[in-house]
Amino acid sequence: MTDIQPNFAAVKQGLIPLTPQEKMKLDKDGLDVIHDIYRYAKTGFASIDADDFDRMKWYGVYRQKPKDSGYFMMRLRLPGGQVTAAQAAKLSEIADRFGHGFCDITTRMTIQYHWLRIEEIPAIFSELATVGIATSGACGDIARNVVACPVAGIDPEEIIDATPQMLEVNAALENNRDFSNLPRKYKISVSGCCIHCAQPDINCLGFFGLKRTVNGVEERGYGIKVGGGLSSSPHLAQMLPVFVKPEQVWPVTEAVSKIYRDQGYRHQRQRARLKFLIADWVKKGGVEYVTEEIGKFLSFKLERHTDFPVIKDQETDHIGIHKQKQGDLYWVGICFPGGRIRNGTLAKVGALAARYCAAGLDQIRLTNKQNLIIINIPEAQLAALKADLDALGLDYQPTNFRKGCVSCTGIEFCNLAVAETKNRMLELITQLETNSGWYQDKIRIHFSGCPSSCGQHQIADIGFRGAQTKVNGVPVDAFDAFIGGRLGKDRRFNSLLKGKIIAKDVHLFIDKLLRVYDIGKQPGETFADYTDRVKKDEILAALDWK
């Protein structure tokens, strides 16, 4: 038994002990729960089978905290975060009608609702369908929302417009029963952005724009990174020594997907992500071995390439006002700290897009930093748009504190979180802007409510992970503080600086930490470079935080 590999074939043949999740998926495919959702909408929350609660995730529906509350959260599938003005209006209408008047932009460029009841889910599905939006694959052990650069196709500096390949990958995987039973979640990014804003370093599979010259002719395509991921055991993706042509993106994606499906680890839930398989393969034979294994599933030979550019600033979110590559058109990036959108604001943004975007080109792009961008604004309309944004209190010129903050759902709604994150972060921004306005440099502050890392705290300049401590014997929210994370050049996850900082004191901790950096930095040294140069114990000693 010990010689049997814990792959999909062994699971289906009953050759290894099944985890509860693997048994559940064999008993009934996650995509088949759609009929049950409609049945449960008639019979009520109490009638829902325990396994079907998990299967409902395949359609973006999962229980809100507490699990027996009768309420659900729901995520949508919005490939590349692309939304039309009409879709924005419908999404806002659904939030008002079913979700207590708000929704959240997630780090996978989609929308998440709260406070939904099972009786309402069919109506929500129906409303979404009227504007061409689905939820299939938004959660569960399946390919999740495919992310991209939010300014794909309009950024003058992009290496390649990856929109066609991103949409092809999404269409091929959505509702595809060949890949509806994967070992765990499967995250893909397809982007041609020159700063790698779609974060291929932390996706299971990431395609990034790449240029090469062949016989004096420039060719643009993609490089590949595979095996990235966060959570309690973070892994940086491995760069493969290949150049991928645009028409090869889906075949490569299909090959990696088959490898993950058939050879991914299913005997231990905590080791079921693709990153663990890739890490073991790299130990076995390096990235060459990984490349060879992928090549076995292809009808063409992957072309060698080893000249990769150095990405210096991967954590920019394209916020602000920028000129597009198309004539006199501009995009305007608007900041929504933590992604929370209230009071019909998404519909109002949709109305602005309908009013000011060039004819027939109204579109909004959600970002993985939980913000959004209105694109295709003629220069002549910029002044009027800015005036309307100002009137709505929408920030397109945010402070570095405001645009650098990311937060998970937190204890307010999530069954895994141990601390409040989103509301604390919103309060934090005001505190920092009020009391730490002396600091003007870039800073990225991320909050995760637990080790699952939905707030991506490991890649932040300052990352906070939810914890609990006691004050005078009374339990209170706290955070473990990590510093020095970044992607791109000199990529690395951050490391623990100080544990169990009381939540109400986080803004004081940040202010003091930034003052230590400001005093100790060398000319032109960023916070990331400073935390790389100076030892953590020296920073902690200078911080003198009790």
What's the predicted TM-score (pTM) here? Answer: 0.96
Q: Output the tens digit of pLDDT for each of the chain's 546 residues.
A: 345 667 788 888 888 888 999 999 999 999 999 999 999 999 999 999 999 999 999 999 999 999 999 999 999 999 999 999 999 999 999 999 999 999 999 999 999 999 999 999 999 999 999 999 999 999 999 999 999 999 999 999 999 999 999 999 999 999 999 999 999 999 999 999 999 999 999 999 999 999 999 999 999 999 999 999 999 999 999 999 999 999 999 999 999 999 999 999 999 999 999 999 999 999 999 999 999 999 999 999 999 999 998 887 656 679 999 999 998 999 999 999 999 999 999 999 999 999 999 999 999 999 999 999 999 999 999 999 999 999 999 999 999 999 899 999 999 999 999 999 999 999 999 999 999 999 999 999 999 999 999 999 999 999 999 999 999 999 999 999 999 999 988 899 999 999 999 999 999 999 999 999 999 999 999 999 999 999 999 999 999 887
515: left (phi over 0), alpha (psi -120 to 50) or beta: alpha
Q: Vertex 407, ends 403 and 411: CA angle to 5°?
A: 155
Domain pair 320-399 / 403-543, same fold: no
Superfamily of domain 163-304: Sulfite Reductase Hemoprotein, domain 1 (3.30.413.10)
Q: Which of 170, 163, 214 is nearest to 192 (CA)?
A: 163
Give the CATH number of domain 24-79+87-129; options: 3.40.50.2300, 3.90.1300.10, 1.10.1200.10, 3.90.480.20: 3.90.480.20
Query: Quick one: 543 exposed, middle or buried, by C-beta within 10 A (0-12, 13-18, 19+)?
Result: middle
Give the type of residue at 373. Answer: I
| Domain coordinates in residue numbering, the chain | 24-79+87-129, 163-304, 320-399, 403-543
CATH number of the 403-543 domain: 3.30.413.10
Give the type of residue at 302. Answer: L
Strand, coil or helix: what is 262?
A: helix
Taking each helix axis as running N to C, give the angle between helix 249-263 and helix 163-173, from 0 to 180 degrees, rounded to the nearest 10: 40
Q: Which fold has domain 320-399?
A: Sulfite Reductase Hemoprotein; domain 2 (3.90.480)
Q: Is there a cis peptide before residue 66, judged by omega within 30 degrees of 0?
A: yes
Q: Which own/partner pairs from 64-69 qualify as long-range (CB within 8 Å, at least 24 positions apart)?
A: 64/114, 64/115, 64/116, 64/413, 64/415, 65/411, 65/412, 65/413, 65/414, 65/415, 65/417, 66/415, 67/415
